[in-house]
A and B are shown apart, each in its own frame.
Chain A
Amino acid sequence: MTRAPSRGTLAVVVVGAAAIAAPLVLRALGLDFYLSLASRIVVYAIAATSLNLVLGYAGLVSFGHAAFFGVGAYVTAILITEGVQSGPVHLAATVAVAALAALVIGAISLRTRGVYFIMITLAFAQMLFYLANSVKGYGGDEGLNIRARSLFALGDGVLDLKNPLALYYVALAVLAVALVALARFAPSPFGRAVLALRDDDVRAEALGFPTYRYKLLVFVVAGALGGVAGALSVNLQGYVSPNALHWTQSGTLMVMVILGGVATVSGGLAGAAVLLLLQEVLATTTEHHEFWTGWVLLAVVLFARQGIVGLWTRRRAPSLS
């Protein structure tokens, strides 16, 4: 993980170039429609990458990550509904509220371990799901439509996320920053400490690492990033509903991470891209795309144990206990 193999460098260059060129290519081919799919992949890649930080690198199987995604989406949607259009304000509020939610949920959940941690993070996400359902002032169970989008000042002009191209590139920039940060995190002293406590937290604690605080920090950072993904998602869809917080959404994010590759830098991106593309392709060919998606996922569990990134690098991903 410290030295990127040349094949990996090549992959980064190719994927990066493809991601930057994608909107132009789609436009040239007259496939503008697919730009929103590309944006969706990028937004979900951010969310899945943030979950991979918790789940893969820190070894904390959080089954409630949709909570932060949903909180971010709701914070931005509510601010826009209340007439606040400033993108920086949306971003700051999203990060603050999502991080605070992660701080509270993490501080309590991290006192448990194993399956109990899985269940308690799930329980907190469900609480927020029902809370969103009951807030009638902001759509209740029907969800909340927003008429405007986040605005960012850019020189003399204004960057409006209503513009699909602007949204795509902003999301792509966020993803790029997240991936670079994740790649630098693993070999850093803090990253190594987190990997050490994932593999054996009693030993890490005995070595003097404040394991609880490290886990909490990772959990909060991941929650904030998940919130940003949610804020981008509501800008993309123009809509948020309690389903953004439902446990099946947490499940979908987990599926992306496991599908892509647990504890790999590009696992979240690979998983989001493959799952969403698979659904899109199947949806155009069959009415029952969920059915076939399920079979593909099942085959991945049974036959490709290290996820897609594992197939590419042919290297054993670090095992999870």
Chain B
Amino acid sequence: MPTLLVVEQVLNGLQFGLMLFLLAAGLTLVFGVMDMINLAHGSLYMVGAFLAAWLVGLTGSFVLGVVGAVALTFAFGMALEAGVLRTLYARDHLSQVLATFALILILNDGTRMVFGNDLPLAAPAALAGPVELLPGLQYPAYRLLILVVGLALAVLLWLLVQKTRLGALVRAGASNRTMAAAMGTDIARLFTVVFGIGAALCAVAGALLGPLLAVQVGMGENILILAFVVIVIGGIGSIRGALVGAILVGAVDTLGRTLLQHVLREFLPPQWASAAGPAFASIAVYVFMAVVLAVRPQGLFPARG
């Protein structure tokens, strides 16, 4: 197997993993601190992507479009939290599933009403070409941008959680919500902001992945489940766990899709290999999660103290 292909696929896996992390970060905090199952988290990713596609078309600038979409999704996330989700924190998981499933229906169809079933979103022309990373290794410039933005946001988020007062309050909430509230933290208000940040991160992922995948209604549904897998592997409520889990899942998924196919081709007929590769890769992520849960039922980095 050519080494350059492996390097390229590792970069792709890392890039996908970082985008999954952006989705999983908000999800794990809502799940960990508020004990809330939010199935509509993937819808925020979709809303962000649609807003970005719309604003990029309107302004003609990719950067302006993405920044605008992130700001709007941040506001939308806070409004959603304050308007609907907040009343669900005290309810059981079943009510949360029903309510957020209803939100998926509303947001999917609502997006369709406003923007139609899909919107075109292209990578900026300046980044259309490849960059030579190593002698002989051409890597698409746009994918490199995603990688850089993803890494930068991961570092930023780590600083926010580990080094700021807001982060300390969030960690306190994740570790023991009742105690944090007893010590005078206004968990409700804190959470509106945290939810908004989670929504904004979803928008970043949606906007950046938009040109690679497709901006269409329902785009959040499959990636949402992967985000759940990430946070279960990482440990519910842990940002660090979400990062590690996301990179592992991104690697397993991407490497499985391409490299596994190469391996299978060695001893299977080609049409079987090309059919079995993606299936194994999709399933591998879930097998991985089942194994992690069997060995460490609380995930890799349990947040609850």
Cα A116 to Cα B297 with chains together (Å):
8
Check A294/B225 contact, CB under 8 A, given A134-B278, A254-B98. Answer: no
Q: Does B110 contact A (CB under 8 A)?
A: yes
Residues of the A chain whose Cβ atoms lie less than 8 Å from the Cβ of B101 = 251-252, 254-255, 297
Q: How far is the CB of B80 from chain A (nearest CB, A)?
A: 12
Encode A279-321 as 1/0 by CB contact (under 8 A) with B.
0000000001111011111101110010000000000000011
Q: A300 CA to B95 CA in the complex, in Å?
A: 9
| A320 contacts B104, C-beta separation under 8 Å | no
How far apart sit A294 and B276, CA to CA, in the bound complex (Å)? 37
Of A124, A126, A247, chain B has the most CB atoms within 10 Å of the CB of: A126
The docked-state distance in angstroms from the alpha carbon of A157 to that of B94 is 47
Most B C-beta atoms less than 10 A away, residue of A63, A108, A321: A63
Cβ of B300 < 8 Å from any Cβ of A? no
CB-defined contacts of A119 to chain B, threshold 8 Å? 228-229, 232, 289, 293
Interface string of B89-127 (1 = CB under 8 A from A): 001111101110111111011101100000000000000
Are B98 and A259 within 8 A (Cβ)? yes
- The residue on B at minimum CB distance from A119 is B232
B294 at the A interface (CB under 8 A): yes
Q: Please report the C-alpha to C-alpha distance between residue A115 and residue B289 in the assembled complex, in whole angstroms.
A: 14
Q: B162-170, B171-179, B181-189, B279-287: which one contacts chain A?
A: B279-287
Known: A115-B93, A122-B228, A294-B102. A251 touches B283 (CB 8 A): no
User: How far does the alpha carbon of A305 sit from the alpha carbon of B229 in the complex, in Å?
Assistant: 29
Assembly CA distance A136 to B105 (angstroms): 30
Q: For residue B88, which residues in chain A have a CB less than 8 angstroms away from its CB? A: 301
B232 engages A116 (CB within 8 Å): yes
Chain A residues, CB < 8 A from B84: 298
In the complex, which residues of chain B have a beta carbon less than 8 angstroms from the beta carbon of A300?
98
Decide yes or no whether B37 CB sits under 8 A from chain A. yes
Q: Which among B92, B275, B286 has the greatest number of chain A C-beta atoms within 10 A?
A: B286
Across-interface contacts of B200 in A (CB, < 8 A)? none
Closest chain-B Cβ to A56's Cβ sits at a distance in Å of 9
Q: Is A81 an interface residue (CB 8 A)?
A: no
Cβ contacts under 8 Å, B199 to chain A: none
In the complex where A111-B294, A112-B293 touch, is A294 in contact with B103 (Cβ < 8 A)? yes
Name the residue on B nearest A252 (C-beta).
B101
When distances are taken between beta carbons in the complex, the residues of chain B under 8 Å from A224 are none
Q: Are B31 and A127 in contact (CB under 8 A)?
A: no
In Å, the complex CA distance between A296 and B113 comes to: 18
A100 to chain B, nearest CB (A): 18
- How far, in angstroms, from A186 to B162 measured CA to CA in the complex? 51
Bound-complex Cα distance A55 to B95 (A): 13
B87 contacts A255, CB within 8 Å? no
In the complex the two chains form, is A258's CB within 8 Å of B279's CB? no
Expressed in whole angstroms, the Cα–Cα distance for A259 and B8 within the complex equals 48
A294 touches B104 (CB 8 A): yes
Given known pairs A115-B236, A291-B110, the reply for A124 and B102 (CB within 8 Å) is: no
Please tell me if the beta carbons of B279 and A288 are within 8 angstroms of each other in the complex. no
Q: Which residues of A contact B37 (CB under 8 A)?
A: 115, 118
Q: Do B293 and A301 have beta carbons less than 8 Å apart?
A: no
In the complex, how many angstroms separate the beta carbon of A227 from the nearest chain B beta carbon? 21
B39-71: which residues lie under 8 A (CB-CB) from chain A? 39
Q: Given A126-B286, A136-B275, does the pair A295, B106 have CB atoms closer than 8 Å?
A: yes
Q: Which of B289-305 contact A (CB under 8 A)?
A: 289-290, 293-294, 297
Instruction: Flag if A298 contacts B103 (CB, 8 Å).
Output: yes
**When the two chains form their complex, are residues B109 and A291 in contact, meaning their CB atoms are under 8 A apart?**
yes
- Of A134, A252, A305, which one neighbours B275 at CB under 8 angstroms? A134
A291 close to B87 (CB less than 8 A): no
Give which listed residue, A115, A118, A126, A295, contacts B102 with CB less than 8 A. Answer: A295
Does chain B have a CB within 8 A of A248?
yes
- Residue on A with the closest CB to B87? A302
Residue of A nearest to B280 (CB): A134
B4 vs chain A, min Cβ distance (A): 28
Q: Give complex CA distance A131, B88 in Å.
A: 35
Chain B residues within 8 Å of A127, by CB: 282-283, 286-287
B106 touches A291 (CB 8 A): yes
| Other A-B pairs, 6, CB within 8 Å; known A63-B97, A122-B228 | A119-B228, A251-B97, A293-B102, A294-B105, A298-B84, A320-B94
- Between A and B, 26 residue pairs with Cβ closer than 8 Å are A55-B94, A115-B31, A115-B37, A118-B93, A119-B228, A119-B229, A119-B232, A119-B293, A122-B225, A123-B229, A123-B290, A126-B282, A130-B282, A130-B283, A131-B283, A134-B276, A134-B278, A247-B221, A248-B104, A251-B39, A251-B101, A255-B101, A288-B112, A290-B109, A298-B106, A320-B92
Residues of A within 8 A of B (CB): 55, 61, 63, 108, 111-112, 115-116, 118-120, 122-124, 126-127, 130-131, 133-134, 136, 140, 247-248, 251-252, 254-255, 258-259, 262, 288-291, 293-298, 300-302, 305, 320-321
